[in-house]
Amino acid sequence: MKTIQADAAEIREVAGAFSVFTAPVVLVFAEGKEWFRRARFVPMGELQQELTKLNHLLNE
């Protein structure tokens, strides 16, 4: 898994390209498509469940 951290306040192109209007935001992409997006409050349990589900689907 590749991770990228970007400060949208410093790199405004990132915010525009991904339609980010608040912070923090967690975006998860798989095979070029957005799979999961949560902003402000990111429930870690939900994020873990989505990552597990995605991992299962990609490794079938």
pLDDT in tens, the chain (60 residues): 788 888 878 888 888 898 988 888 999 999 889 999 998 888 899 999 999 999 999 998
Residue 2 lies in a domain: no
Residue 42 lies in a domain: yes
Residue 46 lies in a domain: yes
Which residue range forms the structural domain that includes residue 45?
12-58
Residue 48 lies in a domain: yes
Residue 7 lies in a domain: no
Residue 1 lies in a domain: no
Q: Indicate the number of domains in the chain.
A: 1
CB-based contact 28:39 (threshold 8 Å): no
pTM of the complete model = 0.76
47: which residues sit within 8 A by CB, 6+ positions away? 26, 28, 36, 38
